[in-house]
Amino acid sequence: MARTVVITGPSGVGKGTLIRSLRERMPELQLSVSATTRRPRTGETQGEDYHFMSPAEFEQHVAAGDFVEHADYAGARYGTLRSELETRSASGAPVLLEIEVQGARQVRRTMPEAVQVFIAPPSVEALRARLVGRGTDPPEQVEARLRSAEAELAAQQEFPHVVVNDRLEDAVEELVQIVRETTSTR
Ligand code: 5GP
C-alpha cells in the first residue's frame, strides 16, 4: 500500500486548511515540512511551516541531490528534502506532501506508488476571490499565483483523484476516504 500521499492543486485552493482538517480526523498522518526560499509570512515558524532558507542554501541542496522534488513557483523555490521524508515516514504512518503541480509530476515519475490527489476550486472566480481575500500575499504575488493557477487547473486531468473544495466538510470526507482506501490506514 502507498505510504506517501501527494496533495496538489493551485495556490489558494485551500490545501492547507483541508490538510489541517484531514489530520484532525487522522492524527497518525505525518506532514512533510518543505524547504523554501520565500520569506516567512507573519505567524509562520521556521521548521514548522517551512524550512526557510536562502537561495544559496537551497541551491546547495539541489546540487547535492537532497531533494525528492523541487520547483520554482511565483518567484521562489520550493522542495521536499529526502531527509525530511525519511524522518516523517520512520513511524510507518503515511506522509502527506503538500506541493504544487510541477513537484507532483516529479513525484509521479520517481515514486509512482505515491497517491496523488488534486484539489480543485469550485470555479476560477472562487480561486481568485480566495487568493485576493486571504490577504497573506502582496498584490504582485497574488497576480503571479493567478497566472500559475491557469496552467495548474489544466493539469487536473492528469490526476487519478480530484477533490473539489466547495464545502469544506464534504471535501475533507472525500479526502479521508481516499487516504483510507489507498493507504489501508483505518
Ligand atoms: P506558499 O508560498 O503559498 O506557502 O506555497 C506556494 C505553493 O508552493 C503552494 O501551491 C504549495 O503547495 C507549494 N509548495 C509548498 N511546498 C512545496 C514543495 O516542497 N515542493 C513543491 N513543488 N511545491 C511546494
| 22-60 per-position pLDDT tens digit | 999 999 999 999 999 999 999 999 999 999 999 999 999
The confidence score (pLDDT) of residue 37 equals 98
Nearest CA to ligand 1 atom 21: 99
Containing H/E element for 114? none
Q: Model-level pTM?
A: 0.94
Confidence of residue 186 (pLDDT cuts 50, 70, 90): low
Confidence of residue 143 (pLDDT cuts 50, 70, 90): confident
Task: Determine the Cα angle at 117 with ends 4 and 62, to 5°.
Answer: 55
Residue closest to 10 by CA, chosen among 159, 138, 139: 159
Containing H/E element for 67? strand 67-73
Return the half-sphere exposure (C-beta side, CA atoms, 13 A cut-off) of residue 186: 0
Q: What is the pLDDT of residues 104-120, one digit of tens each?
A: 999 999 999 999 999 99
For residue 35, which atom of ligand 1 is closest to its CA?
Answer: 19
* Angle, helices 15-25/168-183, rounded to nearest 10 degrees: 60
Residue closest to 185 by CA, chosen among 21, 74, 29: 29
Pocket test for ligand 1, best of 31, 99, 109, 111 (most atoms within 8 A of CB): 99
The confidence score (pLDDT) of residue 142 equals 87
